[in-house]
């Protein structure tokens, strides 16, 4: 997971992005290059994953890996394409819908009216369903289990076996 050579990665990035794309205004044109990494902490010793061209890609990968930070690299390049300045900015991801401590959640959704809710414990889902089905006769609540690996998965016949 460690990224050994950022410089190498940048070269790879650039191979698909011709230098002609940059504007040539004055004599001393400096070009700025930005990319994103997913990372697990802001410490010196951290795992980084990437690079990504867009924040969205990095964020999606970070969420996949359970990482909580993004690192934005800004390189200021000289005319000779040498890195003259490096800026790094850490971005903390907003709390994910499912945090690290919660690996499984229960989603209830009424098949009749579409009302839905999310619960961290199975019994709360049951209580929600009980109340809903009590308040709305002939409504039927479906239960979904959400796990990091499998996403949403319906638990069929759950009311029958309760
Ligand atoms: Zn309903």
Summarised one tens digit per residue, pLDDT across range 122-150 is: 889 999 999 999 999 999 999 988 777 66
The neighbourhood of ligand 1, an ion, using CB within 5 A, equals: 110, 112-113, 136, 139
Determine the Cα angle at 143 with ends 140 and 147, to 5°.
165
Q: Looking at residue 108, what is its pLDDT?
A: 93
What is the CA(93)–ligand 1 centre distance, in A? 34
pLDDT above 90: residue 52: yes
Top mean-pLDDT range of 18-27, 35-44, 153-162? 35-44
Q: How far is CA 51 from CA 46, 47, 62, 162, in A?
A: 15, 12, 11, 48
C-alpha to C-alpha distance for 143 and 106, rounded to whole angstroms: 7
Q: Looking at residue 103, what is its pLDDT?
A: 62
Q: Looking at residue 14, what is its pLDDT?
A: 42
Q: What is the mean pLDDT of residues 75-81?
A: 87
Q: Looking at residue 81, what is its pLDDT?
A: 85
pTM of this prediction? Answer: 0.42
Q: Calculate the average pLDDT of the chain.
A: 78
What is the CA(116)–ligand 1 centre distance, in A? 8
What is the CA(100)–ligand 1 centre distance, in A? 31
Q: Looking at residue 135, what is its pLDDT?
A: 95
C-alpha to C-alpha distance for 109 and 67, rounded to whole angstroms: 30
What is the CA(14)–ligand 1 centre distance, in A? 54
Q: Looking at residue 160, what is its pLDDT?
A: 67
What is the CA(70)–ligand 1 centre distance, in A? 40
């Amino acid at each position: 997971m460690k990224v050994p050579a950022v410089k190498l990665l940048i070269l790879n990035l650039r191979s698909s992005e011709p230098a002609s794309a940059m504007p040539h205004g004055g004599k001393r044109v400096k070009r700025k290059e930005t990319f994103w990494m997913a990372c697990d902490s802001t410490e010196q010793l951290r795992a980084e994953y990437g690079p990504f061209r867009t924040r969205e890609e990095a964020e999606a990968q970070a969420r996949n890996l359970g990482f909580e930070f993004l690192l934005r690299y800004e390189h200021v390049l000289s005319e000779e394409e040498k890195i003259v300045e490096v800026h790094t900015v850490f971005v903390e991801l907003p709390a994910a819908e499912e945090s690290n401590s919660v690996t499984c959640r229960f989603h209830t959704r009424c098949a009749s009216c579409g009302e839905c809710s999310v619960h961290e414990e199975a019994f709360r889902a049951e209580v929600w369903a009980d109340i809903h089905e009590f308040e709305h006769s002939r409504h039927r609540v479906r239960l979904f289990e959400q796990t990091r690996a499998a996403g949403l998965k319906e638990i069929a016949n759950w009311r029958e076996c309760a």
